[in-house]
Structure 1
Amino acid sequence: MDLRQLKYFVQIAESGNFSRAAEVLRIAQPSLSQQMKNLEDELGVDLLLRHARGVTPTEIGQQFYEHARRILQEVERTREVVRSQTLNPSGKVSVGLPTSACRGLCLPLINAMAARQPNLTLHIVEAMTGYLDDFIQMGRLDVALLYDHKAFEHVAWTEMMVEELMLFAPPDHPVVAQGQVVFADMFKLPIVLPGAPNVMRTVIEQFAARHDVMPNALACDSLPAIARMVGDRRALAVMPHFAFTDEMARGEMVAIPIVDPTPSWRLSVVVSQRTMNPRGSEAVAKVLADVIAELVGAGIWHARLRGERARGDHARAALR
């Protein structure tokens, strides 16, 4: 017995006639009759009473009809739930945002999700990108924004953009008057970076090694503490422009371009394939990618978009 036979039987019982039911079901009448014979043989009972005017359910056939109709209704409800989840995903999705981006990205993401995916609930986790990478691989995060992400088996990603790193100093620091700083000369100043194995530290050290530079720098994994060190003139920070937009707006810091050469890193929106809410995770990843592209397009986030987004197509954020 299968759902098709249940559907056929219900239609016959409601039509009261094999030929009329066959027309509705768009099946040949002999085939429909054979399906009902097979069903009755399998159950070992007569479900239909055949007569000159058509057919009517037997007493047990009427009971079978009630059960079959409820089963088909539940199947249709299940289909509708799945369709609804596809069009309007719901549930909780955990999103990892790196410390350098969380302050500027968190509120625009929350606002965009409320407008575009109101049935989804976000759980935002802020951490250094190295920790976020581990969390996404272990399935502890559904979606994350990662710097210089490496390919792993259980994740899918869309590379969003390239972001240049800059030197941050108090506005009255002598280096600000220079307008820029040469990469090698930068390390003659007191510099603070996140500690190893943070991606920022790895990017700078690998970049320095390729250019025969010794990257001498303090280690601190707290963005607020790094900001405090800059404000107190204890050290200058290397970060992306987006990390200290609030401090720059308040006139507490100045971003100085690093040149000859300029270090940079790539940002990717990453989705765990171990997520328990794949539809929701994909929806969040698309909104996250759109928000990032909008911030870059508005000049709030200083970066170069990759691929289609670099050509101004902010509507598509399909994961590879």
Structure 2
Amino acid sequence: MDLRQLKYFVQIAESGNFSRAAEVLRIAQPSLSQQMKNLEEELGVELLLRHARGVTPTEIGQQLYDHARRILEEVERTRDVLRSQSLTPSGRVSVGLPTSACRGLSLPLLAAMAERQPNITLHIVEAMTGYLDDFIQMGRLDVALLYDHKAFKHVAWTEMMVEDLMLFAPPDHPVVAQGSISFREMFALPIVLPGAPNVMRTVIEQFAARHDVVPNAMACDSLPTIARMVCSRRALAVMPHFAFSDEMARGEMVAVPIVDPTPSWRLSVVVSQRTMNARGSEAVAKVMADVIAEMVSAGVWQAKLRGDRARPEAARVPIR
């Protein structure tokens, strides 16, 4: 049994039939079938159940699949570790981007990485900040952009900026003509926020508690659905300006400032200290910080850069 056979078996199990697996692996189907026959004969067990729709792993085959996936992942991680020791950052780096920033940041980040760090392959993961925070703590992500992230010992961060939260409404909504709305008055309107434990909900609820306001709001964890709710006049949304830049450019929404007081949150570029590709992760974090600072300075991203973070070369801040 060798790594090639394990790779073939995993692909067959995931594809559900030999022909599809052969296409993905770019080998002839008879050769693939022979490899699996040899593997079953070597192990003395039946690994795959053949049927009209394709194949499924037997009980023993499922055990082999679980072990094989872990082995292949560990081989890939080992390869990344060794590559990361070279002078030039390289290998695969997983990057978590919050839903509210992913649409606007992912393409500029990918373009900048292709230009500045072409030997690094990015794996972008989009999710709500709470999930990304957990993933970075566990080492399932190498780098992430997080809002008001939790401070744990297994990460290091660069606090990039402070972003004001705004109220989004259709262009013909009466609140747009007002020009602004107070934080307290806002909750007399139908408001939609992500549900708990999303960071947005937590920030708004804690901010409301400090100002003796009851934050009555619907819950929805889908940014596209929130956008549709606003456009259809079912609710108004509280989000950072950057979250709905596409909709505003198309004239579908208007961002109304929230005043007396204005809620805000902090954004940080976070690096897991459990990463298997430290050199690559640091390089990605640096490029991400550069890109964000450039977008803010150009007015594409409306936010306030933090002190010396206004310079793209700002240094990383380790957690105590």
TM range (shorter): 0.7 to 0.9
Deviations 1:162-195 (A, max 9, x none): 0000000000001000000000000000000000
Structure 1 match to 2:193: 193
Looking at structure 1, the residues matched to 271 and 82 of structure 2 have their Cα atoms a distance apart, in angstroms, of 21
User: Cα distance, 1:153 vs. partner?
Assistant: 1.2
SS in 1 for 2:284: helix
Q: What residue number does 2:213 align with?
A: 213
Shift of 1:317: 4.1
Alignment of 1:164-313 (within 5 A): 164-310=164-310, 313=311
Is the 8 Å Cα contact of residues 142 and 271 (structure 1) preserved in structure 2?
yes
Look up the match of 2:31.
none
What residue identity is the alignment partner of 1:244? F
Aligned to 2:6: none
Conserved 8 A contact 1:289-1:317? no
- For residues 123 and 306 of structure 1, what CA distance do their matches in structure 2 show? 28
Alpha-carbon deviation of 1:220?
0.3
**Alignment match, 2:109:** 109
Return the offset for 1:82: 7.9
Q: Does 1:121 align with 2:127?
A: no
Identity %: 84
Query: Do the aligned partners of 2:84 and 2:91 also contact (CA within 8 Å) in 1?
Result: no
Q: What is the alpha-carbon distance in structure 2 between the residues aligned to residue 196 and residue 161 of structure 1?
A: 24
* Contact 2:84–2:90 (8 Å) recurs in 1: no
Structure of higher CA gyration radius = 1
Provide the C-alpha distance between the structure 2 equivalents of 1:106 and 1:84, rounded to a whole number of angstroms: 23
Which amino acid in the other structure matches residue 196 of structure 1?
A
In 2, the alpha carbon distance for the partners of 1:218 and 1:255 equals: 19
309, 316, 319: which one aligns with 1:318: 316
Determine if contact 1:184/1:213 at 8 Å carries over to the other structure. yes
In 1: Cα distance, 2:90 partner to 2:150 partner: 29
**Whole-Å Cα distance in 2 between the matches of residues 129 and 198 of structure 1?**
7
- Deviation per CA, 1:18-76: give whole Å up to 9, x if none: xxxxxxxxxxxxxxxxxxxxxxxxxxxxxxxxxxxxxxxxxxxxxxxxxxxxxxxxxxx
Match of 1:88 in 2: 88
CA contact 1:193–1:238 (8 Å) conserved in 2: yes
2-side partners of 1:87 and 1:290: how far apart?
A: 21
Query: CA, structure 1 residues 229+83, in 2 after alignment: closer, same or farther (shift >3 Å)?
Result: closer
For 2:242 and 2:183, the matched residues in 1 are separated by: 20
Contact 1:160 1:266 in 2 (8 A): yes
CA contact (8 A) 2:83 2:91 kept: no
> Is this contact kept in 2: 1:190–1:234, CA < 8 A?
yes
What CA distance in whole angstroms lies between the structure 1 residues aligned with 2:316 and 2:151? Answer: 17
Letter in 1 for 2:312: H
Contact 2:84 2:277 (C-alpha < 8 Å) held by counterparts: no
Mapped to 1, the partners of 2:146 and 2:213 lie a distance apart of: 26
Measured in 2, the distance between the counterparts of 1:84 and 1:139 equals 16
Aligned-partner Cα distance in 1 for 2:263–2:291? 24
| 1:219 partner letter | A
Q: Give the corresponding residue for 2:5.
A: none
SS at match of 2:301: coil
2:248 & 2:104 partners in 1: Cα distance? 12
CA RMSD of aligned residues (A): 1.5
**Structure 2, unpaired ranges of 5+:** 1-80
Q: Distance in 2 between matches of 1:88 and 1:221?
A: 39
TM-score by length of 1: 0.72
Q: CA deviation at 1:86?
A: 5.0
The Cα of 1:314 is off from its aligned counterpart by: 1.8
Q: Distance in 2 between matches of 1:177 and 1:227?
A: 20
Distance change in 2, residues 1:235/1:120 (3 Å): same
Query: Aligned-pair distance for 1:88?
Result: 1.4
1:231-255 CA-to-partner distances (Å, cap 9, x unmatched) read: 1100000000000000000000000
TM-score in terms of structure 2 length? 0.72
Once residues 191 and 295 of structure 2 are traced to their aligned partners in structure 1, the CA distance between those partners, rounded to angstroms, is: 28
Structure 1 residue 85, shift from structure 2 partner? 4.4
Asked whether the equivalents of residues 191 and 236 of structure 1 are also in contact (C-alpha less than 8 Å), the reply is yes
Which SS does the other structure have where 1:87 is aligned? coil
Specify the SS of the correspondent of 1:112: helix
Deviation at 1:318, TM superposition (A): 3.3
Once residues 309 and 142 of structure 1 are traced to their aligned partners in structure 2, the CA distance between those partners, rounded to angstroms, is: 21
Cα offset, 1:83, TM superposition:
10
- Aligned partners of 1:207, 1:316: CA distance in 2, in Å? 29
